[in-house]
Structures are given as C-alpha cells and as structure tokens.
Amino acid sequence: MNDKTTLKIPKYNLNLKINNNKNIVQAALEAGVKLSFSCRSGVCGTCKAKIINGKTDNSKGITHNLTNEEKSNNIIFTCQSLPLSKTLELEFLSPLSKSLLANDNKPKEYIVEILTINKLHESYIELITSFPKRIFTFLHDGMKIQLNIAGKLSENKYNIITPKLNPDGSNNGLISIYIPINDKEIYQNLFPGETITIIGPHKNDIPVNGKPYLFITNKENLISSLSKIKQILFINNDAKVMLISYYENKHKIQFMDEMHKIQNIYKGFNYKIIITKEKVASNTRFIFGKPVDVLNKIISNLNNHIIFIDKKNGKLIKKIIELEGLKENIY
Ligand code: FES
C-alpha cells in the first residue's frame, strides 16, 4: 500500500507528509527534506532516531547493529525502517542540518523547454516549462529560480508557485513560474517552444522556530509572500500563518483563488484582505480602511509573531511595535 505518513520532528518544527513504502530517510528525501544519514546501510548509526509516537516496520532492513537496549528503547535506523502508522514522531540522536531542505546545495543549471505562457491578472505571466523528473522532488512551492535566456541571466529571481502534478499526486515533469510583466526584458523574450536555462533553486531564508507568522503585504510583494508562506507550510504543515494583503479596490485583488487553495490545504493558514480606498460595504468579507488603522481589528497582540512586512513602510512598522511586535522578529 502506498499511503502517506505524517512525519513529526518537534525539535525542528518538522511536520511533513511522506510515503510509507520507502525507508524514512528516502521518503523524506523524496518529499524534499534531508534528515541525518551517512552510510544508508544500517552500519554507521548517523540516522538513529527514537520513536516518540507511532510505529515503524523494521523487518525488511538491517538492524543487527542496534543493541538490544537501543531496540527496547524504541531506537531505530531511519535508513532501514519504513513508517507504519498515520503519524510518526521521532527524535533524532544526531543533529539535523539547520535548513532541513534537501536542495540545500549550490544552485544548478537545467535546460528546459517553454511549453505554455499564460497571462495572469494585470501584472504576472505564468510560464509552464518541462522539468527533469529525477530532480523534481527537490523543487517545491516557495523556491526561487533565475532564468537564462539566450545567454542573458535574469537579475531577478522568480517564484515557483505550483509544480504541476498528476491527479494522483505524482509529478508530470512540469513546473509553473510566475514572472512580473513589468520585467520587460525577460517577458518579451519568452516564446512557447523555446529552450531556456533555469538556475536554482535558490534558498528563501525563513526562520523556523514554531512561532506564528504574520505577513502584511501590498500587491507588489504578494507573490514573494505567498512563496515564503508555501515554503513555511511545506516544512511544517501545521504552522500558523496569517496573510494580510491590501489593495486600493476590489478589482485590484490578486491571487485570491491561490490564498483560498492554501487555506483549504493547510488548517493553520488564514488570510484577510484590506481595501484601502473604497467606501465601507456591508455583507463582505473584506476589511475597509488603511492597514495602519485596521490592523488591530485583525490581530491584537504581536509579541510572539515572526512578521514579514515591507520595511520601508514606517507607519506600519510603528503600528506593529504598538501592538507589541518585537523589532528583532520583523523581516
Ligand atoms: S545512515 Fe548509516 S545506519 Fe543509517
């Protein structure tokens, strides 16, 4: 049976769905997370972990290098054991790498073909390209890439928003990249059927420490915020994340379907939309006013939050400090 197990490693705030037809090290790697391991043959012990909750199948792997005492203390080689329960909570005996991401290497170059270009809203296009399946598992929502078109490297990095998946969840070798239309030099040189080079993935540096996250963003920074949010939720499916985005009027709202989709998948994600220049309307889920005036209607105390905000917006920063947000937690 190929089913999913939720792998929990509380010390690292990891909460990840992995396949349970592979050993834990391999399944996590395929889901994009690198645990501690070295030999992967039940010898070195680097991958040892204690089961705090849940069950594993240890019958198919090499376990004779574990002492009887270790076995009776529920210590396993994660490179040799398969997840067996719906949830598996582990404590690793060796430290895990800080970022946990399996792609925590130097960005690489991949030659891909542009398949489709779709116009999204007034300010973005979606570029759908092929991607080699063998490295697909190291790419996921929230990562960034650069493009090299006809020998010219893009200055900006672009977000992979939704790797395209088959209905059964397996990858079909396609990824989707969002590019701002005002990035003219890139935008005007993209044509279906052409071959381009993708360089990446590049890391998003996001603190992962179990605190709730708050993103306050205008439409210019929305894609970048959504990208970071997806990366947070990828590592910790249960993370608490609030996204507040603001627009002049209802017609300027972007990616509401994307926000809604994320909310449907992750129960810890919530979003609010502020309309800054329209008359207050009743029977609507929007909030009307300037962000600085209505923020306290949405959230009252920020002293425990990691906050992502445009740091040039002095008034909002001041408001956040008033609401007990800590300067060292503002990014
Ligand atoms: S990685 Fe060496 S025993 Fe598992």
Summarize pLDDT for 268-325 with one digit per residue, the tens: 999 999 999 988 777 778 999 998 888 888 888 888 899 998 877 888 888 888 888 8
**243 with 173, same domain?**
no
From ligand 1's centre to the CA of 74, what distance in Å?
16
pLDDT band at 11 (very low <50, low <70, confident <90, very high): confident
Question: Is 301 contained in some domain?
Answer: yes
Atom of ligand 1 nearest to the CA of 39: 2
Nearest-atom index, ligand 1, CA of 36: 1
22 C-alpha vs ligand 1 centroid, how far in Å? 15
Confirm whether 37 is domain-assigned: yes
Element (H, E) at 185: helix 184-187
Within this chain, do residues 135 and 171 fall inside the same structural domain, yes or no?
yes
Distance of CA 92 from the midpoint of ligand 1 (Å):
12
47 closest CA partner among 28, 31, 21, 72: 28
Tell me, in angstroms, the distance from the centre of ligand 1 to residue 76's CA: 10
Ligand 1 atom 3: residue of nearest CA: 42
**Residue where a domain stops, chosen among 202, 223, 253:** 202
Task: Clarify whether residues 255 and 313 are in a common domain.
Answer: yes
The ipTM of this complex is: 0.99
Q: Model confidence over 89-124: pLDDT tens digits?
A: 999 998 887 666 655 557 788 888 999 998 876 778
Residues with CB under 6 A from ligand 1: 37-40, 42-47, 77, 79
Residue 56: count other Cβ atoms within 10 Å of its Cβ: 24
What CA–CA distance (Å, rounded) separates 123 from 182?
7
CB atoms within 10 A of CB 45: 17
Q: Rounded to the nearest 10 degrees, what angle do helices 314-322 and 291-298 cross at? A: 30
- Residue that is last in its domain, among 38, 67, 92: 92
What CATH number does the domain containing 126 carry?
Answer: 2.40.30.10
Question: Between 256-265 and 222-235, two packed helices, what is the crossing angle to 10 degrees?
Answer: 10
Closest to 126 measured CA to CA, from 109, 114, 113, 111: 114
Range of 281's domain? Answer: 213-329
- How many angstroms is it from 228 CA to the middle of ligand 1? 32
List, in order, residues 6 or more apart from 72 with CB less than 8 Å away.
none
How much is the average pLDDT of 173-184?
82
**What would the two tokens of residue 50 be?**
């204690």
CATH code (residue 322): 3.40.50.80
Our count of domains for the chain comes to 3
